[in-house]
Protein backbone atom coordinates (compact mmCIF):
# COMPACT_ATOMS: atom_id res chain seq x y z
CA UNK A 1 0.00 0.00 0.00
CA UNK A 2 1.77 3.10 -1.26
CA UNK A 3 0.99 5.90 1.16
CA UNK A 4 1.66 8.70 -1.31
CA UNK A 5 -1.18 7.62 -3.60
CA UNK A 6 -3.82 7.22 -0.90
CA UNK A 7 -6.68 9.52 0.02
CA UNK A 8 -7.74 10.20 3.61
CA UNK A 9 -10.55 7.69 3.16
CA UNK A 10 -8.11 5.05 1.87
CA UNK A 11 -5.81 5.62 4.81
CA UNK A 12 -8.54 5.29 7.43
CA UNK A 13 -9.84 2.11 5.81
CA UNK A 14 -6.44 0.44 5.65
CA UNK A 15 -5.59 1.53 9.19
CA UNK A 16 -8.23 -0.96 10.34
CA UNK A 17 -6.15 -3.72 8.72
CA UNK A 18 -2.66 -2.73 9.82
CA UNK A 19 -0.82 -0.32 12.08
CA UNK A 20 2.50 -0.91 10.35
CA UNK A 21 4.38 1.55 8.16
CA UNK A 22 7.74 1.21 6.43
CA UNK A 23 9.75 4.40 5.91
CA UNK A 24 12.62 3.88 3.45
CA UNK A 25 15.83 5.90 3.71
CA UNK A 26 18.38 6.41 0.97
CA UNK A 27 20.88 8.94 -0.28
CA UNK A 28 21.81 11.19 -3.13
CA UNK A 29 25.36 9.91 -3.36
CA UNK A 30 27.99 9.05 -5.92
CA UNK A 31 28.11 5.42 -7.01
CA UNK A 32 31.02 5.45 -9.39
CA UNK A 33 30.65 6.60 -12.98
CA UNK A 34 28.24 3.81 -13.89
CA UNK A 35 25.40 3.99 -11.34
CA UNK A 36 22.95 6.84 -10.62
CA UNK A 37 23.16 9.10 -7.60
CA UNK A 38 19.90 7.66 -6.25
CA UNK A 39 21.20 4.07 -6.18
CA UNK A 40 20.67 3.55 -2.43
CA UNK A 41 17.15 4.97 -2.58
CA UNK A 42 16.20 3.19 -5.79
CA UNK A 43 17.29 -0.24 -4.58
CA UNK A 44 15.52 -0.17 -1.23
CA UNK A 45 12.34 1.50 -2.48
CA UNK A 46 11.90 -0.91 -5.40
CA UNK A 47 12.49 -3.89 -3.13
CA UNK A 48 9.95 -2.58 -0.62
CA UNK A 49 7.39 -2.12 -3.41
CA UNK A 50 7.69 -5.86 -3.95
CA UNK A 51 7.28 -6.46 -0.22
CA UNK A 52 4.00 -4.54 0.07
CA UNK A 53 2.53 -6.60 -2.75
CA UNK A 54 2.84 -9.57 -0.40
CA UNK A 55 2.09 -7.89 2.92
CA UNK A 56 -0.67 -5.31 3.45
CA UNK A 57 1.35 -2.66 5.25
CA UNK A 58 1.84 1.04 4.53
CA UNK A 59 4.89 2.07 2.51
CA UNK A 60 5.80 5.74 2.90
CA UNK A 61 7.67 7.71 0.22
CA UNK A 62 11.44 7.42 0.65
CA UNK A 63 13.64 9.96 2.37
CA UNK A 64 16.17 10.63 -0.37
CA UNK A 65 18.86 12.28 1.73
CA UNK A 66 21.21 10.66 4.22
CA UNK A 67 24.52 11.05 6.01
CA UNK A 68 27.49 10.52 3.67
CA UNK A 69 31.04 10.77 4.99
CA UNK A 70 33.62 9.06 2.78
CA UNK A 71 31.76 10.04 -0.40
CA UNK A 72 30.83 13.57 0.61
CA UNK A 73 33.47 15.25 -1.57
CA UNK A 74 32.61 13.28 -4.69
CA UNK A 75 30.69 15.11 -7.44
CA UNK A 76 26.92 14.84 -7.03
CA UNK A 77 26.78 13.72 -3.40
CA UNK A 78 24.31 15.76 -1.32
CA UNK A 79 24.77 14.86 2.33
CA UNK A 80 22.87 15.96 5.42
CA UNK A 81 24.13 15.99 9.01
CA UNK A 82 23.31 13.28 11.55
CA UNK A 83 21.35 15.88 13.52
CA UNK A 84 19.21 16.70 10.47
CA UNK A 85 18.55 13.01 9.86
CA UNK A 86 17.57 12.50 13.50
CA UNK A 87 15.11 15.39 13.26
CA UNK A 88 13.57 14.12 10.01
CA UNK A 89 13.24 10.56 11.28
CA UNK A 90 11.91 11.71 14.64
CA UNK A 91 9.26 13.91 13.04
CA UNK A 92 8.16 11.10 10.73
CA UNK A 93 7.85 8.64 13.61
CA UNK A 94 5.86 11.09 15.72
CA UNK A 95 3.55 11.97 12.82
CA UNK A 96 3.01 8.29 12.03
CA UNK A 97 2.16 7.67 15.68
CA UNK A 98 -0.28 10.60 15.68
CA UNK A 99 -2.07 9.02 12.71
CA UNK A 100 -2.55 5.75 14.55
CA UNK A 101 0.46 3.77 13.30
CA UNK A 102 2.25 1.81 16.01
CA UNK A 103 4.79 -0.38 14.18
CA UNK A 104 7.41 1.81 12.51
CA UNK A 105 10.08 0.28 10.29
CA UNK A 106 12.99 2.52 9.29
CA UNK A 107 14.73 0.55 6.54
CA UNK A 108 17.80 2.08 4.96
CA UNK A 109 19.36 1.38 1.59
CA UNK A 110 22.45 3.19 2.86
CA UNK A 111 24.54 1.46 5.49
CA UNK A 112 26.92 4.24 6.55
CA UNK A 113 27.91 4.15 10.22
CA UNK A 114 26.91 7.69 11.20
CA UNK A 115 23.73 7.40 9.13
CA UNK A 116 22.56 4.20 10.82
CA UNK A 117 23.62 5.44 14.23
CA UNK A 118 21.44 8.55 13.83
CA UNK A 119 18.39 6.45 12.91
CA UNK A 120 18.94 4.07 15.82
CA UNK A 121 19.42 6.92 18.28
CA UNK A 122 16.09 8.53 17.45
CA UNK A 123 14.38 5.15 17.54
CA UNK A 124 15.76 4.46 21.02
CA UNK A 125 14.56 7.86 22.20
CA UNK A 126 11.03 7.47 20.87
CA UNK A 127 10.32 3.97 22.17
CA UNK A 128 10.80 5.54 25.61
CA UNK A 129 8.68 8.58 24.77
CA UNK A 130 5.69 7.04 22.93
CA UNK A 131 3.54 4.36 24.56
CA UNK A 132 2.74 1.18 22.65
CA UNK A 133 5.13 1.80 19.78
CA UNK A 134 7.46 -0.69 18.10
CA UNK A 135 10.40 0.67 16.10
CA UNK A 136 12.70 -1.43 13.90
CA UNK A 137 15.82 0.14 12.38
CA UNK A 138 18.04 -1.75 9.98
CA UNK A 139 19.93 -1.85 6.73
CA UNK A 140 19.81 -5.13 4.77
CA UNK A 141 23.57 -4.83 4.26
CA UNK A 142 24.04 -5.27 8.00
CA UNK A 143 21.42 -7.93 8.73
CA UNK A 144 22.27 -9.99 5.64
CA UNK A 145 26.00 -9.32 5.38
CA UNK A 146 27.04 -12.98 5.22
CA UNK A 147 24.25 -14.10 2.87
CA UNK A 148 24.80 -11.23 0.44
CA UNK A 149 28.58 -11.72 0.48
CA UNK A 150 28.06 -15.32 -0.63
CA UNK A 151 26.30 -14.09 -3.79
CA UNK A 152 29.30 -12.05 -4.91
CA UNK A 153 32.45 -13.30 -6.59
CA UNK A 154 34.32 -10.26 -5.27
CA UNK A 155 35.69 -10.54 -1.72
CA UNK A 156 34.87 -7.51 0.43
CA UNK A 157 32.42 -6.19 -2.16
CA UNK A 158 30.67 -2.98 -1.15
CA UNK A 159 29.80 0.49 -2.45
CA UNK A 160 29.00 0.65 -6.20
CA UNK A 161 30.59 -2.77 -6.57
CA UNK A 162 29.40 -6.12 -7.85
CA UNK A 163 26.19 -6.51 -5.84
CA UNK A 164 24.88 -2.94 -5.97
CA UNK A 165 25.50 -2.89 -9.71
CA UNK A 166 23.76 -6.26 -10.02
CA UNK A 167 20.70 -5.03 -8.13
CA UNK A 168 20.35 -1.92 -10.28
CA UNK A 169 20.66 -4.18 -13.33
CA UNK A 170 17.77 -6.23 -11.97
CA UNK A 171 15.60 -3.27 -10.94
CA UNK A 172 16.37 -0.48 -13.44
CA UNK A 173 18.83 -1.70 -16.10
CA UNK A 174 18.39 1.43 -18.18
CA UNK A 175 20.16 3.42 -15.46
CA UNK A 176 23.40 1.42 -15.55
CA UNK A 177 25.95 3.29 -17.69
CA UNK A 178 28.53 0.66 -18.57
CA UNK A 179 30.88 -0.48 -15.79
CA UNK A 180 33.48 1.31 -13.70
CA UNK A 181 36.73 -0.56 -13.13
CA UNK A 182 37.47 -2.53 -9.97
CA UNK A 183 38.76 -0.31 -7.18
CA UNK A 184 38.89 0.06 -3.39
CA UNK A 185 39.34 2.95 -0.94
CA UNK A 186 42.76 3.33 0.61
CA UNK A 187 42.05 5.52 3.62
CA UNK A 188 44.93 6.11 6.09
CA UNK A 189 43.17 4.48 9.04
CA UNK A 190 42.99 5.07 11.95
CA UNK A 191 43.40 8.69 10.85
CA UNK A 192 40.47 10.62 9.41
CA UNK A 193 41.29 11.94 5.95
CA UNK A 194 40.30 15.51 5.20
CA UNK A 195 40.97 15.06 1.46
CA UNK A 196 39.03 11.87 0.89
CA UNK A 197 39.25 12.06 -2.90
CA UNK A 198 43.01 11.63 -2.58
CA UNK A 199 42.46 8.13 -1.22
CA UNK A 200 39.33 7.11 -3.15
CA UNK A 201 38.78 9.02 -6.35
CA UNK A 202 36.72 6.39 -8.21
CA UNK A 203 34.03 5.99 -5.54
CA UNK A 204 33.94 2.24 -6.28
CA UNK A 205 34.47 -0.46 -3.67
CA UNK A 206 34.50 -3.79 -5.46
CA UNK A 207 34.33 -5.02 -9.03
CA UNK A 208 31.28 -3.84 -11.01
CA UNK A 209 32.47 -5.80 -14.04
CA UNK A 210 31.38 -9.03 -12.32
CA UNK A 211 27.81 -7.80 -11.89
CA UNK A 212 24.88 -9.61 -13.47
CA UNK A 213 21.11 -9.37 -13.53
CA UNK A 214 20.88 -12.89 -12.12
CA UNK A 215 22.96 -12.02 -9.06
CA UNK A 216 20.94 -8.85 -8.63
CA UNK A 217 17.63 -10.69 -8.66
CA UNK A 218 18.90 -13.15 -6.06
CA UNK A 219 20.03 -10.30 -3.82
CA UNK A 220 16.73 -8.47 -4.25
CA UNK A 221 14.71 -11.54 -3.34
CA UNK A 222 16.94 -12.26 -0.35
CA UNK A 223 16.41 -8.76 1.01
CA UNK A 224 12.66 -8.82 0.31
CA UNK A 225 12.32 -12.12 2.15
CA UNK A 226 14.20 -10.76 5.17
CA UNK A 227 11.97 -7.69 5.34
CA UNK A 228 8.83 -9.86 5.12
CA UNK A 229 10.18 -12.13 7.84
CA UNK A 230 10.75 -9.11 10.09
CA UNK A 231 7.32 -7.64 9.33
CA UNK A 232 5.68 -10.93 10.21
CA UNK A 233 7.30 -10.87 13.65
CA UNK A 234 5.35 -7.79 14.65
CA UNK A 235 2.21 -8.41 12.59
CA UNK A 236 1.87 -11.88 14.16
CA UNK A 237 2.72 -10.47 17.59
CA UNK A 238 5.83 -12.63 17.89
CA UNK A 239 7.80 -9.62 19.01
The mean pLDDT of 226-232, rounded to a whole number, is 96
Separation CA 102–CA 113 (nearest Å): 26
Does the residue 36 lie in any domain?
yes
> Is 40 inside a domain boundary?
yes
Is 82 a member of any domain?
A: yes
> Is 150 within a domain?
yes
List pLDDT tens digits, range 15-54. Answer: 999 999 999 999 999 999 999 999 999 999 999 999 999 9
Mean pLDDT of the region 141-168: 96
Q: How many domains does the chain have?
A: 1
Residue pLDDT, tens place only, 202-213: 999 999 999 999
Range of the domain at 136: 6-235
Q: Note the pLDDT of residue 239.
A: 67
154 and 143 in contact (C-beta within 8 Å)? no
The domain spanning residue 228 has which CATH number?
Answer: 3.40.50.10310
- Compute the Cα dihedral for 4, 55, 163, 69 and give only its sign: positive
Amino acid sequence: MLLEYMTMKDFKRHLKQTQTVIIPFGTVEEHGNHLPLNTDTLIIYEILKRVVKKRKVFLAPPVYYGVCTTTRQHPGTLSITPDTLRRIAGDLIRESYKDGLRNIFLISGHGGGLHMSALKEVGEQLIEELNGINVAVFSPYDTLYKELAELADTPNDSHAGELETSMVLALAPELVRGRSKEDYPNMPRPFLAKNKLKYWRSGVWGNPEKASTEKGEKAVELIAHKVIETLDMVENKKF
